[in-house]
A = this chain, B = another copy of it.
Amino acid sequence: MYEVINGGVTAAKGFKAAGTSAGIKRSGKPDMAMIVSDVLCAAAGTFTSNVVKAAPVIYDRQIVTEEKYAQVVVVNSGVANACTGEEGMKACKDTARKAAEILPGIDEKAVLVASTGVIGNQIPIDKICGGIEKLAGLVSDTEEAGHEAAKAIMTTDTVSKEVAVKVVLSDGTEGIIGGMCKGSGMIHPNMCTMLSFVTTDIAIDQALLQKALREDIDTTYNMVSVDGDTSTNDTCLLLSSGLAGNSPISEENEDYALFKEALHAVNETLAKKMAADGEGCTMMFECHVVGADTEANARQLARSVISSSLTKAAMFGHDANWGRILCALGYSGVMFDPAKVTLSISSAAGDLVIVENGVSTGYSEEVATKILSETEVVCLCDMHMGEAEGKAWGCDLTHEYVSINGDYRS
C-alpha cells in the first residue's frame, strides 16, 4: 500500500535539488540539474545494455559498483558525452571534482554524473563548471526546486516528468520515494536516452536497494519503447538517504515488499510518462498481454506490439488495423497458436472485442475509431496459453517524429 503525493526528487527527507541554464543548449533553455543529499546515500543504478556506452554511464557504473554510496548527482542536457573517447571520460572526472570543490563536505567519489543530448560532441567543461557554481547556490528541498531540476534534464521532452509516493512501513514510519526522469526519443530501454533519478528516505541495505531496482526495471522502464533505438546513455539512479527513521531494511521482509511495491509505482509512473511524451506522439498506447505461458514471453509479446512501426502508424490514424497487432505478436519470437488469440481495445471512450479465435469479430469500425481517438489506449491480447501477463507502453508514430529526428542537430 502506498499513496501518491506531490513532488519529485526532493520529496524524500534529506534531498535538495536545483535546475539552471548553463549555456550548453543554444536555445538558452535550462540544461543543468543537481541533486544533493544531506548525508551519504546508499546508491543503486542500472545502465544501458548498448555496447557503445556514454562516458557518464561508464563512470557511474564504476561508482555504484565499487563505492556503493553517493551524495550528489550532476546532470546536463544538450550534449550526451557519448562517443567522446578519453576526453569524454576526463569531462566526467572534472565534473565530479568541481562539484566536490564547490559543495561543502562532499567527496569527489560521491558524485554521480549523467548526460543526455547529441552523441559525438565533447562536453563544454567550462560551462559545466559554471553551471555547478550556479546550482550550488540554488539547491533547495522545496517541491519547486525538484520541479526546476526535472525541467532542466529535458531534451525533446515536451513535459517534465515527476512522481512521489508515501508508504507506511511495519514500524509505523512514513517513508517516501520520489523521482524524475526524461526520455522522448532514442527510447527503447534495455535499460533509453532515458535518464531517471529516484530518491528515497527509507533506510535500506545497499545490496537490497540495487536488487530491488534491478528487478523492477524489467517491468517498468524496459517495457517502454518510442522508436526501438536503445540509447548509449540510459541510466537509472536510486539514492537512499535513510532519513525516514525506519529500522533499516536488511532482509527481504515485509518492509522490503512494501518498498518494492512503492518503488514499482514510482518507476511505472515515470516509465508511462516517457511513453506518453514520446517524440512527436499524440497518444500513449499500452499493450497488456494476458494468458501467456511465462511472464518473460508475455513481456516479449507486449513489447513487440508497441514497437511495431506499422501498429504505431495505425494508432496515429485511429485505425483498428488489428492485423498489424497480430503480425507483431507473430514475429516477436514467442510461439503461440494464432487461432486462439483474442484482442480487445479500450480507452475512456469504451471497450470492444475486435478479434476472437484469431479472426475478426465483425466489430463496428466506427466504434473502434472512437475508442482509438483517445490519448490513452489499451490493447488487451489474450493468448489463451497460461496465466502469465505483461505490459508494455509505447506511442503513435507521427509526421512530427520524422520532423524532430530529420532535423535534430540543427
- Residues in chain A within 8 A of chain B (CB atoms): 49-53, 80, 82-85, 118-120, 185-186, 188, 190, 227-232, 307-310, 313-314, 316-317, 319, 321-324, 326-332, 334-336, 338-339, 355, 357-360, 397-399, 401-410
Closest 3 CB pairs of A and B: A119-B323, A52-B330, A313-B405
Bound Cα distance from A32 to B374, whole angstroms: 39
Contact indicator B52/A329 (Cβ below 8 Å): yes
20 A–B contact pairs at CB < 8 A?
A: A51-B331, A51-B334, A51-B335, A52-B358, A53-B338, A118-B321, A119-B323, A120-B326, A120-B359, A190-B331, A228-B307, A229-B308, A229-B324, A229-B327, A229-B331, A231-B327, A232-B330, A314-B405, A316-B402, A398-B406
Q: A317-B406, A319-B406 are in contact. List 12 more A-B contacts (CB 8 A).
A: A51-B331, A83-B358, A119-B327, A120-B326, A120-B359, A227-B309, A228-B307, A229-B327, A232-B326, A313-B401, A313-B405, A321-B408
Give the dominant DSSP class at A's interface: loop
Bound Cα distance from A60 to B16, whole angstroms: 66
A375 to chain B, nearest CB (A): 16
Q: Which chain B residues lie closer than 8 Å to A327 at the CB level?
A: 50, 52, 82, 119, 186, 229-232
- Candidates B332, B334, B336, B406; contact of A314 at CB < 8 Å: B406
Q: Which chain B residues lie closer than 8 Å to A316 at the CB level?
A: 402, 406
Q: Which chain B residues lie closer than 8 Å to A404 at the CB level?
A: 313
Q: Which chain B residues lie closer than 8 Å to A326 at the CB level?
A: 52, 83, 119-120, 232
Q: Which chain B residues lie closer than 8 Å to A360 at the CB level?
A: 83, 120
In the complex, residue of chain B having the shortest beta-carbon distance to the beta carbon of A315: B406
Q: Which chain B residues lie closer than 8 Å to A120 at the CB level?
A: 322-323, 326, 359-360
In the complex, residue of chain B having the shortest beta-carbon distance to the beta carbon of A329: B52
Contact indicator B359/A313 (Cβ below 8 Å): no
Bound Cα distance from A321 to B406, whole angstroms: 10
Contact indicator B227/A359 (Cβ below 8 Å): no
Contact indicator B402/A359 (Cβ below 8 Å): no
Contact indicator A50/B330 (Cβ below 8 Å): yes
Q: Which chain B residues lie closer than 8 Å to A402 at the CB level?
A: 313, 316, 397-399, 401-402
- Candidates B323, B338, B398; contact of A51 at CB < 8 Å: B338
State whether A331 and B49 are in contact (beta carbons under 8 Å apart), knowing that A83-B326, A402-B313, A407-B317 are contacts in the complex. yes
A46 to chain B, nearest CB (A): 15
Q: Which chain B residues lie closer than 8 Å to A328 at the CB level?
A: 229
In the complex, residue of chain B having the shortest beta-carbon distance to the beta carbon of A185: B310
Bound Cα distance from A404 to B312, whole angstroms: 12
Contact indicator A310/B405 (Cβ below 8 Å): yes
Contact indicator B309/A229 (Cβ below 8 Å): yes
- Candidates B83, B307, B330, B403; contact of A359 at CB < 8 Å: B83
Bound Cα distance from A326 to B358, whole angstroms: 40
Q: Which chain B residues lie closer than 8 Å to A52 at the CB level?
A: 326-327, 329-330, 338, 358
A174 to chain B, nearest CB (A): 41
Contact indicator B323/A80 (Cβ below 8 Å): yes
Bound Cα distance from A377 to B241, whole angstroms: 53
Q: Which chain B residues lie closer than 8 Å to A84 at the CB level?
A: 359
Q: Which chain B residues lie closer than 8 Å to A331 at the CB level?
A: 49-51, 188, 190, 229-230
Q: Which chain B residues lie closer than 8 Å to A229 at the CB level?
A: 308-310, 324, 327-328, 331
- Candidates B323, B336, B399; contact of A403 at CB < 8 Å: B399
